[in-house]
Structure 1
Amino acid sequence: MKRNESETNPASTNQEEEVSRSINSTRCHQGIHMGIYGWRKKCLYALILVLLFMVIVNLALTLWVLKVMDFSSNGMGQLEIIPGGLRLKGNAFVLENLVASQIRSRRGEPIVVESSRNISLKSRNKRGYLSSYIHLGVDRFECSTNRFHILDDRGQAVFSADRNQVTVGTDSLRITGEGGTCFKGSVQTKLVRAETGHDLRLESSTRGLQIRAPRDLLLESRGGHVSTIALNDVSFKSEVGAIHLQSSSVMVPQLPTAKVTNRPMTARSFDVFQLCACESGKLFLASPHAVCASENEDGLCR
């Protein structure tokens, strides 16, 4: 009876075999342990130790740099961050270009800009083109600009120069030098005066010398004499007024003396003569007792 039941139920037998197989496989899987063992585990620990060492060294170097550079919440060392800019308490060495809108020293202390070769200051306009340029070299100073002004502490112009004219705003312009000063063009001034204890000399070595004034022209020497020397002619001309020679004595030496024909000359010599003038303006001397005239052959008025 039992044999017949086993033969008649093959499906139940198959189910029992599958259940036993699953139980055995579960037991096998539960006996396996997952992980890293052997040389792989040692390499992982070594890598972790190397990374930890690098992190410690990097942190130590960072702290050392912060200590050496003196970093703080206010700035770095002698360089402090203030509202509107930076403040430097010591010297600054600039290796390349320095771009700033304003550079000024602390109150009561000077500012010194020093270079081993040259110093160049450049200014550009709104379009970026160069407008002004200052170059301080080893043995030269160059300035390129349209207008150049020098002002005093009151804001008044002491010296200004542009393409048309050069203006000196001081009370007096003093020029020293043994060779004097050479002007290629004209000079307009209201007073030309020599230094105390020295002579004033106006000279043109190859051409003429002209002195003009819109109103009065005064030649004065308070401690010496006035001398006018020329190779050809010396002309004093006044369009409307007169020429005044104000002195205790006016001497015109080497004037020619006219020969009078209407009256015979006596043997007596005279120390006083007449000063005669031709129509052309030439001067000559004549006898005090004769007519202020000369013979035609003298050629005094030619």
Structure 2
Amino acid sequence: ITQEQFILASQSLHLQRPGCDTVYPVGLYGWRKRCLYFFMLLLLVTMIVNLALTVWIIKVMNFSLDSLLVLRSEKNVTLNVRNDRGQLTGQLTVGPEDVEAQFQRLQVRSADGGRLLFAANEEEVTMTAEKFTVTGSEGAVFGHSVETPLIRARASEDLKLESLTRTLTMEAPRGVQVSADEGPLKVSGRKDLQLESTEGEILLDASTIQLGGLPLGVYAASPSPTSRDQDVYEVCVCPSGKMYLSPAESSSTCQSVSNICLWS
């Protein structure tokens, strides 16, 4: 090969050889890099503020795994219960002066959750505890009737049923029993005390029966109407049922002092 041919061949090969690729820089530069650093710094600040607020809320609300949950409010605290359709089925409101509960049925059970102690709904209130104690000085006040199988006082304490302005009525289809096993039984009233039996009898069964405070009729034919030596009297009954005492003589003196019946 001549020198000219070699030069031409070398030039042709040089022309066919591909050129070098363009080199591009890798990474973020300029405003993109500054924006990325800014957003990372903003995210870090947000996380720190969120963590600080969470710790502050836990501290203020006294949230703890080892103590009771305390909810505080300057007004009311309301707990709402809703069903799967979002309808309100129950509500508990604790206010500064009262506690209000709105439920279809309210139940209070024992510590183990087995025995029902108190239940209330729109129709009735049920108490199944062994004792119902009222410690107020005025006792228990009922606006209407009370139905119970037993009313008993504590040991060494008196049981008192009192109606200050109205009547006191005890009724039962098979009878009412009032008894005092270890002490006296006293029934008193400011006005009339009436014992009535429509289909039976009234039985006073005791070794001693005393009717104290009966009016004393004075026998006009007695030589000493105001004599205090009179030890024996007879019991007289007016047509109205009023009873009084009359000095006992050999015969009845009720007719002689029957003027007491005129005022009955």
TM-score bracket for this pair, using the shorter chain length: 0.5 to 0.7
1:282–1:301: 8 Å Cα contact kept in structure 2? no
Offset at 1:177? 1.0
Q: Please say if 1:167 is aligned against 2:121.
A: no
Q: For structure 2, list consecutive stretches of 5 or more residues without a partner in the other structure.
A: 1-21, 23-27
Offset at 1:150? 1.9
SS in 1 for 2:29: helix
Offset at 1:136? 1.0
Give the distance between the partners of 1:291 and 1:154, measured in 2 at CA: 74
**Aligned 1:196-211 pairs, distance under 5 A:** 196-211=155-170
SS in 2 for 1:299: helix
SS in 1 for 2:245: strand
Paired residue for 1:271?
Answer: 231
Q: For structure 1, list consecutive stretches of 5 or more residues without a partner in the other structure.
A: 1-34, 36-46, 71-76, 79-89, 95-104
1:259–1:294: 8 Å Cα contact kept in structure 2? no
49-58 or 227-236: bigger deviation: 49-58
User: Identity over aligned residues, as a percent?
Assistant: 27
**Aligned 1:1-302 pairs, distance under 5 A:** 48-56=29-37, 58-59=39-40, 91=58, 111-117=68-74, 118-125=76-83, 127-152=85-110, 153=112, 155-221=114-180, 225-245=184-204, 249-258=208-217, 265=222, 269-286=229-246, 287=248, 289-291=250-252, 293-295=254-256, 296-299=258-261, 302=264
Give the distance between the partners of 1:164 and 1:300, measured in 2 at CA: 53
Give the distance between the partners of 1:200 and 1:165, measured in 2 at CA: 26
Give the distance between the partners of 1:229 and 1:223, measured in 2 at CA: 19
SS in 1 for 2:92: strand
TM-score using structure 2 length = 0.65
Let me know the Cα RMSD of the aligned residues: 4.1
TM-score using structure 1 length = 0.58
**Change beyond 3 A, Cα 1:228–1:124:** same
Give the distance between the partners of 2:249 and 2:131, measured in 1 at CA: 50
**Higher relative contact order structure (alpha carbons within 8 Å, sequence separation ≥ 6):** 2
Offset at 1:224? 5.1
Offset at 1:122? 1.3
**Change beyond 3 A, Cα 1:160–1:272:** farther
Offset at 1:241? 4.1
